[in-house]
Amino acid sequence: MRPTLKGQRLAALFLLGCLLFNYPLLSLFAGYTRIWGIPLLYVYLFLAWGLLIAAMALMVERKDP
């Protein structure tokens, strides 16, 4: 079976998600800094999660050549 380009992109997106939600990056945002009263870690988690979902939606809906 030949892997599709879409499958490879989704696997790369999965690996990116693993990196984004792993310890080294999370520790960068774990300080006492707040944005509009919300801790920076929560803002980072929400934005990273939303961007991963948006990227996955774009990849799944895209037509493979």
Instruction: Please answer whether residues 29 and 40 qualify as being in contact, where contact means their C-beta atoms are separated by less than 8 angstroms.
Output: yes
For residue 38, what pLDDT is reported?
Answer: 93
Kindly indicate the confidence band of residue 64, based on its pLDDT and cuts at 50, 70 and 90: low
Q: Tokens for 8, please give them.
A: 């490879």
What are the tens digits of pLDDT across the range 36-61? Answer: 999 999 999 999 999 999 999 998 88
For residue 1, what pLDDT is reported?
Answer: 57
What are the tens digits of pLDDT across the range 6-45? Answer: 888 999 999 999 999 999 899 999 989 999 999 999 999 9
Q: What is the DSSP string of the chain?
A: -PPPHHHHHHHHHHHHHHHHTSHHHHHHT-SS-EETTEEHHHHHHHHHHHHHHHHHHHHHHSPP-
